[in-house]
A and B are shown apart, each in its own frame.
Chain A
Amino acid sequence: MKHWKKLLIVCAAIAGLGQLGAAYAGNDGAMASSADRSLKGDQVCTECHDENDNKAVLAVYKGKHGVKADGRTPGCQTCHGASEAHVKNGPKKGEVGGKRGAVDVVFGAKSTLSTREQSEVCAGCHKGDKRTHWTASQHDSGDVSCVSCHTNHTHQDKVLKKATQPQVCYTCHKEQRAEGRKMSHHPVAEGKIACSDCHNPHGSAGPKLLKKNTLNETCFTCHAEKRGPFLWEHQAATEDCSNCHTPHGSNISPLLKSRAPFLCTECHDGPHNSKVPVAANAGGTQAGLTAVPSENYTGRGCMNCHSVIHGSNHPAGALLHR
C-alpha cells in the first residue's frame, strides 16, 4: 500500500507542476492551424524545391502527406512552419552566394530543435492508437524523434516495409544486428519477420517496447501452441519465455540462452541427474568418453525425456515426459 500512496503524492505533485507550466505550449499543432495546406499553398515551397532540387522534396506527393483530397493532409508549412525568414529573405536577383534565412522547423540531424520538439510536430496529428504510450517512452526519452526512423518525402518509407525495416532499427541496435547473424535466429534477415512484429517502437505498456502487455503474450501471438494452460505447467515457461530463450539470436538452437543439461541446472538441482557434474562427457564417446555416455546429458540432455518442456496436457505428464 505504501507504494500506492507514494505514487499518489508524486502524481499530485506532477499535476500541480503541470498547471504552473500551462503557459508552455510546445509545438502542438500551433503553427499547423494557420498554414495553407492546399497545393497552391505548397507552391511557396515547390516553386524552388522542384524536380531539380537536390532533395526529392516533390516525392512527398507520392505519400500520404501529399494527398490533398484528404482533409487531414498537411501542407509544407504545416510541418515546417511558415518559415518567413526563408521564404521572404532569399538572395536578391543576380546576387551570387547569397543565403536564404532559415526554415522554422527542420527535421533531422541539422535541426535546431530538440528531438522531442521535432516529434511534437508529428504528434500534433499522429496521436492515440499505437502512439498512445509515446510520451516518456524509451525512444522518446532516448533522443529518438519520428524522423530518426521515418522518411516522409518518399513513396515507400523503409521502416514501414518488412524486408527493409531491420536496416533502420539496426542503425542504433547493433547488438541485435550481431545476434541476428547467429546460428539460431528468427527469420528477420530473411525478411519474413520484422522488428515491429513483436515491438511497438512508439511506446507500449509492455516491457522492452513489446506490442503486448507481457513478453509471453507477445510470443504466444505466433507460438500459440505453447500458451496452454496445461495440466502440468513449467513455472519458468508460464512466467517468462526469456528465462530460457533469447529472442534475437543464439549460438545454441532453438534460441536458447544455454544448452541442456547446463541450462536446466540453472534452476533445478534436485531431480536425479541434475546433481551430477557434467563436462566433456556431454559430448559422449566422440568427445573422448570411453564409457557408455548417458542420455541425460548428451544431445538434448534433460529434454531427451522431459520432452514437452513448455507444458504437458497428458495425465501422465507431471514430469513433462508426455
Chain B
Amino acid sequence: MKTRNEKLQRSALSLAVHGALAAMFAMPLMVMAADDEVSVLTRPTSSVEVGVAGVSEKSAKFGEYNGLNDSGAYGIANFNIGGGSAYDAYDGGNGTLRWEMNGRDLGTTSREFGASVSSQGSWDVRIGYDELRHNVSDTYQTPLQGAMGGNNFTLPVTFGTFNAQTNPSARTLDAQYQLGAFHTEEVGSTRKNTAFGAGFHFSRQLSIRFDYNHLDQSGAKLQAFGNQGGAAYATIASGIGRAEAVSVLMAPTNYKTDTFSLAVNWVGDKGYLTAGYFGSIFRDGYDSLSWQNAMLQTTGFTGCAPGGACTYQTNVASTAPDNQFHQLNLSGGYAFSPSTKLVGGFSYGRNTQNDSYASAVMQVGGLPQTSLDGSVVTTHANLKLTNRTTKDLSLSAGIKYNERDNQTTSNTYNYVEIAGGGYSGISTPYSNRKAQLELAGDYRIGKKQSLRLAYEHEYIKRWCNNVVGGAECVASPSSDEDKLGLTYRLKAGDNVKLNVGYAYAKRNAEFNHLYKANTGNYAVAATINGGDYAGYLAYPYASRTQNIVKAGLNWQATERLDFGVSGRYSFDEYEATLGVQDGSSASFNLDATYTYSENASVSAYVSWQNSERDLSAGAAGGVPAPSVTVAPTNVFSNQLKQDGSSIGLNTKHAFLGGKLELLGDLSYSLDKSHYSTQVPYLATCGATGTLTCGDTPDIKAELVAFKLTGSYRIDKHAKVALVYLYQNLTSSDYYYNGYQYGYTPNRVMPTNEQAPNYEVSFLGASYVYSFQ
C-alpha cells in the first residue's frame, strides 16, 4: 500500500515533469506568439475575399455608380496581396522592393484592378484599370431605332407622323403603330480607365515621373434636341418637321481621352523645382448625331398615316469635337532663410480643335471654313513670398495671373435656325484674363489664440479677338473685386477649439450695354445688351457685395466623448435693376462621437443646409425688345429656396473578444428645391390655363439607408463576413411631367421617363482569407 507521502512525492515529481515539458514547449510557443504579433505589426497582411451577393430590385438609380443596377446575384471578389524585401526592415533586412496587387468589386461593373512594384528611393512602376458604369435611366422610352451608343436613330417606316393637339389629355398616339413602337432602353455610359505610371530617382535630389491614362467612354447620355422646321427650312430641303419639336435622344459618348504627364523634380537644400509637361488628347468616335422626326407642323404639311410607308425629316447635330491640350509647367521654391520663402510657377498651354464640321444641311450659303482651326492659349503665373519673422507672426504676399486667349478666327455663318427663320451668326471667341493680389498675415496671441487677416484684389478682363464687325461681345469687359477676411482661433484649455471667421467682398463690374452676344440675332441691327432688357445683368458679371460669417467649435468633453459644431452663413447682394437681386446660404452641422471601449464607438451627425436666390425679370414684350427699360410695374420676381437635411448614426462594436465585429450605419436625408414666381402686373397668372405665377411643385428626394456589416473571425487566417444594405429612395420631380405620354407639350416626343424611386435590399456573404 502506498503511503500518502509517496503519492505526494509522485505528484510533485509529475508536476515538475509536466512543468518542465510545459516550459520546453510553451516557451517557443510564447516566442512564436510574440513573433506573430511582431509580424502582424511589421509585415503586410494580404487578403482574398470571395462571396456572393444578391440585389432585390432592379434600379438604375440605386446602381447609378455601384454596378448593382440589376436584381439578382453578383459575385463578390476583392483582393489585396503585397510583399517584398522592404518589409524585412524590422528584421534587419536591407531590401527596398515592395510589390502590391489589388482588386476591388471585381464582380460588378464598378470593378478596379491595380498593381505596383517599387524599389523605394530608386524607381516605381504601377498599372491600374478602373471601370465605372454610370447608369442614367432604365425608364427612358423611344420609338427611335438604333442601339444605345450609336449616332443614327431612325423611325419605323410605319410609325407615321402626328400633329399636336390643343388638349393635352386628348393628344394620344396611335396605339398600334406609334405607342407600340415605343421601347424601353437602359441608358448609361461606361468609363474604362487604364493607367500606367513610373518614376525614377536619379539621385536624392533629382527624380522623374511619367503618368499615362487612357479613358475610354462608351454608351450614351440623354440629351434633348429641337427638330428643324418651318417654311424657310423647306426652301433648303424637303422639311416637313414641326419647328422646334423636341426629341430626347441617347446622345452617344463614344469618347477616348489620352492624358500624359511628365515631370522632372529637383530638390536641394534651399530650393526645389519641378518642370513638367501635361498633355490631353480627346477623340470622339463620331462627328455628328442624326435622327428622324415624326412631328409635323400643325398646318401646311401633309403627314403620313401610321401604318403607311413613311419618310421622315432627318436632323443632324454636332457631337463633341476632337481637341488637344498641351501644357508646359514650371514651379519651384527657394528659401532665402529658414523664415523667408519664395514659391512660384508658370504654365503655358495650347488648346486646339480642328474637327470637320458636321453636315451643313441647314446652311443657306457656303461656309467660310470647313473646320474651326480653333486655338486657345492659356497662360498662368503665380508668385508667393512668405515670411515668419517670429514664431508668432506669419506674412504672405502673392500674385496670380491666368489668361485664356482665344485666338480663333471670328466668322459669319448664315443658316436657317430650327424655328425656321434665317440667322446670321457671328462667332465670338471669348478670352478672359484674371489677375489676383493676395496679402495675408497670421498672428499668434500666446499659445491659445491666433488671428488671421487676409486681403485679396481680383481684376478680370474679358474680350473677343477680331470679332467680325468689331462688335463688343461681352456684357462686362472688366471687373475689380476686393476681398477682406478675418479669422480668429481660440484653444480654450486642452479640450475646446473655436474658430470664427468673417469675410467681406465687393465687386465693381464695368458694364457695356452695347454688347452683342450669340443669344441676339446679329441680323437685327438694333440689338443691344445681348438682346436683354436695359438694366438686366447676368449675375456672374454684375457688381456684387458679399458677406460671409462662419464658426466652428470642437469640444473633447471627456476622453471618450467629443462634439463638433460648425455653421456658415453668406449673403450676396447684386447691383442690378433686373436679374439676380440677392442670394443667401446657410448651413449647420453637429457631430458627436462616443467611444465607449477600445473597439466600440457610436457617432451621430446632423447637417442642415438652406439657400435662397431672388431674381427680378421684365415682362414679355415685343421680340426683340432690346433698349427697352421695363417699367417697375411690369417686373416679375422668382425665388428659389433649397433645403437639405441629413442625419446619421454609425456604430462599431466588437464581441467575443474581438472575434465578432459589427458595424452599423443608419442615415436619412431629405432635400427640397422650390421655385416661387410672383407676377404682380398680371391678374390672370394664377388661372389654371396659365399658372405663370405661384409655386412649382417641390423637387424632393428622401433617402433612407441602413447598412449592417458583420464579420466573424474563424481563426487567425479566416473570417466570414455578412453585409446587409437597405436603401429606400422616394423622389418627386416635375421635370418628368412634361415627358409623359399624353402630357407632353405639343412639340415633344414623350419618353415616359420616371423620377427615380426604389426600395432595394442587398445581401452579401463572403469568406476572407488573410495571410502574411
Interface readout for B33-59 with A: 1 if CB under 8 Å, 0 if not? 010011001111100000000000000
Tell me the chain A residues, 270-322 only, with Cβ under 8 Å from chain B.
270-295, 298-300, 303-305, 307-308, 312-322
Given contacts A61-B41, A143-B499, A305-B224, 16 further A-B contacts (CB under 8 A): A18-B336, A22-B340, A51-B37, A127-B333, A141-B394, A155-B44, A205-B345, A269-B532, A270-B532, A270-B625, A277-B679, A283-B737, A289-B689, A305-B226, A319-B423, A321-B417
In whole Å, how far is B245's beta carbon from the nearest beta carbon of chain A?
A: 8
In whole Å, how far is B591's beta carbon from the nearest beta carbon of chain A?
A: 7
In order of increasing CB-CB distance, the 4 nearest A-B pairs are A18-B340, A298-B738, A128-B272, A318-B425
CA A238 – CA B87 in complex, angstroms?
50
| Residues of chain A with a CB closer than 8 A to B132's CB | 187, 192
CA A25 – CA B642 in complex, angstroms?
51
Q: Does B746 have its Cβ within 8 Å of any Cβ on chain A?
A: yes
Interface readout for A1-45 with B: 1 if CB under 8 Å, 0 if not? 001001100110011011111101110100000000001000000
Q: Does B693 have its Cβ within 8 Å of any Cβ on chain A?
A: yes
A10-B439, A269-B618 known; A285+B531 contact, CB < 8 A: no
Interface readout for A53-81 with B: 1 if CB under 8 Å, 0 if not? 00010110110101111111100000000
Q: Does A47 have its Cβ within 8 Å of any Cβ on chain B?
A: no
A163-B104, A262-B640, A279-B677 known; A287+B280 contact, CB < 8 A: no
Interface of chain A, main secondary structure: loop
Indicate which residue in B257, B317, B336, B613 contacts A15 across the interface (CB closer than 8 Å): B336
Q: Does A190 have its Cβ within 8 Å of any Cβ on chain B?
A: yes
Which stretch (B15-23, B149-157, B515-523) binds chain A?
B515-523
Contact A307 B226 (CB under 8 A): yes
Contact B625 A275 (CB under 8 A): yes
| Chain B residue at smallest Cβ distance from A222 | B215
CA A269 – CA B104 in complex, angstroms?
50
Contact A14 B673 (CB under 8 A): no
| Residues of chain A with a CB closer than 8 A to B734's CB | 282-284, 286-287, 298
Q: Does B748 have its Cβ within 8 Å of any Cβ on chain A?
A: yes
CA A42 – CA B533 in complex, angstroms?
75
Tell me the chain B residues, 707-756 only, with Cβ under 8 Å from chain A.
731, 734-740, 743-748, 756
Max chain B CB contacts within 10 Å: which of A3, A155, A225? A225
CA A73 – CA B95 in complex, angstroms?
13
Q: Does A229 have its Cβ within 8 Å of any Cβ on chain B?
A: yes
CA A46 – CA B758 in complex, angstroms?
54
| Residues of chain A with a CB closer than 8 A to B110's CB | 190, 192
A66-B90, A293-B738, A315-B415 known; A178+B589 contact, CB < 8 A: yes
Q: Does A199 have its Cβ within 8 Å of any Cβ on chain B?
A: no
Interface readout for A214-253 with B: 1 if CB under 8 Å, 0 if not? 1001001110111111111111101110010000000110
Max chain A CB contacts within 10 Å: which of B41, B272, B358, B444? B41
Contact B519 A268 (CB under 8 A): yes
A51-B38, A269-B532, A284-B738 known; A66+B620 contact, CB < 8 A: no
| Chain A residue at smallest Cβ distance from B273 | A128
| Residues of chain A with a CB closer than 8 A to B357's CB | 231, 313-315
Max chain B CB contacts within 10 Å: which of A50, A222, A321? A321
| Residues of chain A with a CB closer than 8 A to B396's CB | 14, 135-136
Q: Does A208 have its Cβ within 8 Å of any Cβ on chain B?
A: no
Contact B615 A279 (CB under 8 A): no
Q: Does B536 have its Cβ within 8 Å of any Cβ on chain A?
A: yes
Q: Does A181 have its Cβ within 8 Å of any Cβ on chain B?
A: yes
Total residues of chain A contacting the partner, CB 8 A: 141
Indicate which residue in B64, B529, B540, B756 contacts A240 across the interface (CB closer than 8 Å): B540
Q: Does A114 have its Cβ within 8 Å of any Cβ on chain B?
A: yes
CA A266 – CA B232 in complex, angstroms?
32
Indicate which residue in B34, B98, B691 contacts A51 across the interface (CB closer than 8 Å): B34
Indicate which residue in A132, A192, A235, A287 contacts B696 across the interface (CB closer than 8 Å): A287
CA A221 – CA B191 in complex, angstroms?
14
Contact B274 A270 (CB under 8 A): no
In whole Å, how far is A232's beta carbon from the nearest beta carbon of chain B?
A: 6
Contact B748 A268 (CB under 8 A): no
A24-B391, A227-B282 known; A175+B675 contact, CB < 8 A: no
| Residues of chain A with a CB closer than 8 A to B325's CB | 220, 224, 227
Interface readout for A80-99 with B: 1 if CB under 8 Å, 0 if not? 00000000000000000000
In whole Å, how far is B84's beta carbon from the nearest beta carbon of chain A?
A: 10
CA A269 – CA B259 in complex, angstroms?
40
Contact A305 B244 (CB under 8 A): yes
Contact B38 A299 (CB under 8 A): no
Contact B427 A232 (CB under 8 A): yes
| Chain B residue at smallest Cβ distance from A116 | B394
| Chain A residue at smallest Cβ distance from B337 | A22
Indicate which residue in B246, B394, B531, B621 contacts A304 across the interface (CB closer than 8 Å): B246
| Residues of chain B with a CB closer than 8 A to A239's CB | 430, 432, 462, 540
Contact A61 B89 (CB under 8 A): yes
Contact A295 B333 (CB under 8 A): no
7 A-B interface contacts by CB (under 8 A)? A14-B397, A15-B385, A18-B340, A51-B37, A129-B267, A225-B255, A316-B423
| Residues of chain A with a CB closer than 8 A to B520's CB | 270-271
Task: List residues of chain A with CB under 8 Å of any chain B CB.
Answer: 3, 6-7, 10-11, 14-15, 17-22, 24-26, 28, 39, 50-52, 56, 58-59, 61-62, 64, 66-73, 109, 114, 116-117, 127-129, 132-133, 135-136, 141, 143, 155, 163, 174-175, 177-179, 181-183, 187, 190-192, 205, 213-214, 217, 220-222, 224-236, 238-240, 243, 251-252, 258-259, 262, 265-295, 298-300, 303-305, 307-308, 312-322
| Residues of chain A with a CB closer than 8 A to B338's CB | 22, 24-26, 28
Indicate which residue in B130, B462, B617 contacts A277 across the interface (CB closer than 8 Å): B617
A69-B95, A227-B325, A313-B372 known; A279+B675 contact, CB < 8 A: yes
Q: Does B86 have its Cβ within 8 Å of any Cβ on chain A?
A: yes
Q: Does B699 have its Cβ within 8 Å of any Cβ on chain A?
A: yes
Contact B41 A258 (CB under 8 A): no
Contact B669 A7 (CB under 8 A): no
Contact B375 A128 (CB under 8 A): no
Contact B280 A321 (CB under 8 A): no
Indicate which residue in A70, A190, A225 contacts B66 across the interface (CB closer than 8 Å): A190
In whole Å, how far is B501's beta carbon from the nearest beta carbon of chain A?
A: 10
Contact A39 B65 (CB under 8 A): no
CA A150 – CA B693 in complex, angstroms?
53
Contact B166 A270 (CB under 8 A): no
Contact B164 A307 (CB under 8 A): no
Q: Does B688 have its Cβ within 8 Å of any Cβ on chain A?
A: yes
| Chain B residue at smallest Cβ distance from A244 | B540
Contact A305 B225 (CB under 8 A): yes
Contact A7 B280 (CB under 8 A): no
| Residues of chain A with a CB closer than 8 A to B42's CB | 58-59, 61-62, 66
Interface readout for B671-714 with A: 1 if CB under 8 Å, 0 if not? 11101110100100100111111111101010100000000000
Contact B417 A259 (CB under 8 A): no
Max chain A CB contacts within 10 Å: which of B259, B418, B462, B682? B418
A14-B385, A270-B530, A286-B734 known; A68+B745 contact, CB < 8 A: no
In whole Å, how far is A224's beta carbon from the nearest beta carbon of chain B?
A: 4
Indicate which residue in B225, B457, B615, B701 contacts A251 across the interface (CB closer than 8 Å): B701
CA A179 – CA B645 in complex, angstroms?
10
In whole Å, how far is B770's beta carbon from the nearest beta carbon of chain A?
A: 13
CA A312 – CA B689 in complex, angstroms?
36
In whole Å, how far is B214's beta carbon from the nearest beta carbon of chain A?
A: 12
| Residues of chain A with a CB closer than 8 A to B12's CB | none
Indicate which residue in A59, A179, A316 contacts B416 across the interface (CB closer than 8 Å): A316
A163-B104, A228-B321, A318-B425 known; A72+B204 contact, CB < 8 A: yes
| Chain A residue at smallest Cβ distance from B587 | A175
| Residues of chain A with a CB closer than 8 A to B740's CB | 286
Q: Does B667 have its Cβ within 8 Å of any Cβ on chain A?
A: yes
| Residues of chain B with a CB closer than 8 A to A316's CB | 360-363, 413, 415-417, 423
Contact B320 A289 (CB under 8 A): no
Indicate which residue in B317, B385, B701, B748 contacts A299 across the interface (CB closer than 8 Å): B748
